[in-house]
Structure 1
Amino acid sequence: MLILKPARILPMMIGGLVLFACDSQRSTGPAGPQFSRTITLPGFNSLLGAGPARVRIWLKPGTLIARRVVVRQGDQLTRDERVDGRVAAITASATEDTVTLSTGDLKIVVNGSTTFRGDREEGDDDNPSAPASLAEFTLRLQNALAAGRHPAVEARRPAPGTRQAPTDAAFTAALVRLDDAADRPSIELNVQNANLLTNASPPPDAWLQVLDRKIELRTSDGTTRIGQQTPETLGELQFRGKVASVDVGAQTATLADGTILHLVAGSDIETGDEGDDSTFATLADVKTALAGGDSVVARGEGLRETATPRTLDVIEVRFRKESPDEPEHRGVAFADSVTAADSVAATFTLGNGALVNVTAHTMIAPFGDFHTLGAVVRALAGHQRVKAEGFGMLASMGPPKVLNAIGVEFELNH
């Protein structure tokens, strides 16, 4: 039986910078740091022949064609593996659910051990959009898909101690984040020589096989760029925050918390795909967007140059126009006993007095004990105790508080 805990506000981090590595300071030469170098396909093959490596693969949307591959070594092999993409479907079962991504039908398994996080930019006061449980996460995705939306998710798991076979499609997420910034499909995994498959009759020039998907590498025509990060990136920090101001002349962007992002000769600004008007390729573009009233989020990696003011030399960054909250990212979770139900008015009342409307768009969980509001009415008439757990939009503060249910699970309250 699925047990929902009441939704709670989960602070993500104090301050505007999320740190995932040692905060080490370093010096650079007058020419600036060299964070990465372009390598050829044979060079990539040689690296993997020498031992395992961590790769992050950015895919062209809707395809299994790599547009960029970044190779990392050393301590990167012990960091979480990750898959980003938009959700195409979700299949629920009693113990675990399977999220299917739109790219290559990749399957992500989520279960009762998975931690869920919501979409949050640094500078926000809390984490109001985090699903409280597996059931709520599933209901929110089902509702979004039914409304024609395809939410972006970021799924992470600890790096496995034993290398995963190229034909093994399994990926069970330890953490899943609903995250608009994960809209660009990517895969970050440890690989070895067996994952790289050559092609005697290009195109493509080769495949990188991961999670039982053959990712096309098209280096000959310039579609795929392969880069290797240098030791200069040791001690990198991941940052994410809203951009407060830009100085094009100084090549800096200042985040809302005061952190200064300094673009140097080796910095890589992620560019948008064709038709993508939400990603900015230059600081001048970011400055124009801010002047036009847009909110811009910077996300990437950098190395600390100075502590006061906190300044990072950017290794890589994506400047993205922040989109308004989508409906699946707003609302109220509930978990309480049902004291009354009316199948004609399509409402039920919770133990705390809140009135919940069941609309034509409400999804009632098929894995619950009761699948219709009428069944709940009959159960209450037979003196059975019923519990309702779900997620809804606030319609009125009341009293009584009124919610329009997005999704709900009805079960016997033992």
Structure 2
Amino acid sequence: MQTPNPSLLLGTSLCSLLFLLRAFHSSTSVRSPAAVHSSSPFGPPPRLAYFVTGSAGDASRMLRLLRTIYHPRNQYLLHLDLAAPAAQRRDLALAVRSVDAYVAFRNVNVVERADRVDRDGSTALASMLHGAAVLLRYGANWDWFVNLDASSYPLITQDDLLHMLSFVPRDFNFIEHSSDIGWKEYQRIRPIIMDPSLYLASESEIFYTSEKRDMPSAYRFFTGSSSVILSRKLLEFSILGWDNFPRTLLLYFSNMKSSQNGYFHTLVCNSKPFRRTAVNSNLRFVAWDNPPGDEPRYLNFGDLSRMMRSGAAFARKFREDDPVLDKIDKKILHRYHDRFAPGGWCIGRDGRGRDPCQVWGDPDILRPGLLAKRLEKLLLTVLSNSSFHSNQCVYK
């Protein structure tokens, strides 16, 4: 019996998604004085710009993550923050230069002048904007910015992800957001904090001032996960900005605790050209303790079936070299230790210990697998008429 082609199996059910996105896109294109072309959900596969971050001791985790998400079409920027010794950044750069594919496709770079990052302060947001700015400068044609930390891992291959995103308007922003701020109003938003990492060379914890501030009245406040998939147009608006709102908003967030959990959310939902591009999902799987803490809990084997059913593209947090990562490698990514997750660009012979990604073909050829169906189901859910606009920048 002949095995059906997975990409053909996806085609029929994608018709409904294509119809939805065609209708949405006609009213959600973003136009700026600098560029007036609208994106199209059809055409060649998109290109992603990954900002992969870590701290002291995370270099090996970052390199493992990089191999699982690598594709020649994409751009990758690795940032090991200042808590890591300079020797670790040097070793990370040398490890990147030792991989033939990275050198040949020239799409993996390491930040040499690292930032100091405190997730409780505003330096995490500053570092994220720094990474986006570098990727805008060196990656001319990517479509979406994806931030991953060293504790993240993919749940689908890059061929699956690029194939499904081929049907999505390129100006959509996958950003989990809510105006229901609850306890965050008095613990994060009203308190005024100072992040010494902005002006001190040595590491120092954030501190609170004695004053509290009123909630903003010039714009509506939104919050959510710092893990995002943002369009190039939004990043250009935020960093190169033809409007002053991104800069004034950044000044407000510079004195807020965990500002990376609110800046882009508030920016998107208060900027008219981008409000209708917000998709209230970041395509991530996380799990929380009960009651929940500030950060998601660590994932393990007990979460694997839920991870796979979720349709999410990525999951976090994982401990370094947790056995569940080996299971994801084998069952989902079909990769072996120290190898890439194979895709259509890998045309070498497989089996008997051979690595198909030692021989490269056309990066534009994608071979999505059956797991792409789960991401398709998630996209159909978040983009359906019953949930897309009803969950988009809703102010409560």
Q: TM-score range by the shorter chain?
A: under 0.3
The structure with higher relative contact order (CA 8 Å, sep 6+) is 2
Please report the TM-score for the alignment, with normalisation by the length of structure 1.
Answer: 0.25
Q: Which has the larger radius of gyration?
A: 1
Structure with greater strand share of residues: 1
Normalized against structure 2, the TM-score is what?
A: 0.26
